[in-house]
Amino acid sequence: MTSLHAVAFTRDGTELARLIAARLGGRAWAPPRYAGGDVSPLTGSIAVWTRERFSSSDALVFVSACGIAVRAVAPCLKDKTRDPAVVCLDDRGRNVISLLSGHLGGANELARRVAALTGGRPIITTATDVHKVEAVDAWAKEHDCAIENIGTVKSVSAAALDGEKIGVAVTEMEQPAPWPVTLWLRPRNLALGVGCKRGTTSAALRAALDDFLSGAGVSKLSLCALASIDLKKNEPCLADLARELGVPFLTFPAAELAAVPGQFSHSQKVLDVTGVGNVCERAAVLASGLGVLLRGKARYPGVTFALARRKFFDHTEKADPSMKNVSDTEAQA
């Protein structure tokens, strides 16, 4: 896990927290009388401890009674797209309960992993798992897709459990809904290449981007990276935009951009200033892992954009029969 915290309150529980943190890459906590070495002391209340870590953690593991965990996390809850995985287990490790964010947060899988460590049994209560039906939100997480209309997940999952046909569109392209009830999954497969003049404002950059994406007919949720030349690595508007989009901001030296294979637009002025004849197109292709240039350079006052698509989904893999998918990720290439 990127950020996992395991907390316990008994001697036996502390040993389990220590094991979980060591094997899954996290940090263990316990009351001062059990802390020491690789177990940090829990000096305040569990409510404060939880509040301080809830939003910044990928997972919280409580080696405790469920009631302790429930009361600790209840004031912190936001929604299923933002809450971390919460798992609870007894201090013998016999029952490992996926308590919160089973699919999108990964608590179901975490419960299975913890149970494998403790020799216990994972307690999974999500209906799709119990009935062995593909959960659309779990599928989206596994395949790095953003869910555009998260409110539709519940009705789509219910339909799948009832054996009804469901409509799931997997595409970065904006298009009419193919079914009366359509769940839109946006693959994070588009790298945005950007060039801009020094001092460009964040407001101007955002406005230009909205127009560019609208013209390209793609969803903002499908952006996976913002890329430019290393001369722009300290440009505030680019860092701000990447942070707002929730994507990494990648920069490359001119020589690396110039070496990108393919046919790109060329500007002598850009070459004279940066050392490479095109920034946005080459940066987009490089950030996409040498994918396909989907949209060439588009000019706005002081700003240029380009889009490249990385390979997202192998359409030859066997699809789950309960999920009816449509994807434009190759058809539009």
Structural domains of the chain ordered from first start:
4-125 (3.40.50.11220), 136-187+312-327 (no CATH), 190-309 (3.30.420.180)
Segments of the chain with pLDDT less than 70: 1-2, 312-333
Q: Taking each helix axis from N to C terminus, what angle separates 107-118 and 11-24, rounded to the nearest 10 degrees?
A: 120
Residue 162 has a pLDDT of 80
| Nearest-angstrom CA–CA distance, 26 and 59 | 9
Name the burial class of residue 136, with classes exposed (0-12), middle (13-18) and buried (19+) by CB atoms within 10 angstroms of its CB. Answer: buried
- 8 A C-beta contact, residue 279 and residue 195: yes
| Nearest-angstrom CA–CA distance, 326 and 183 | 11
pLDDT in tens, 83-100: 999 999 999 999 999 999
Residue 316 has a pLDDT of 32
Q: What CA–CA distances, in Å, run from 240 to 65, 236, 266? A: 42, 6, 28
| Nearest-angstrom CA–CA distance, 229 and 232 | 6
- 8 A C-beta contact, residue 222 and residue 190: yes
Residue 331 has a pLDDT of 30
Residue 333 has a pLDDT of 26
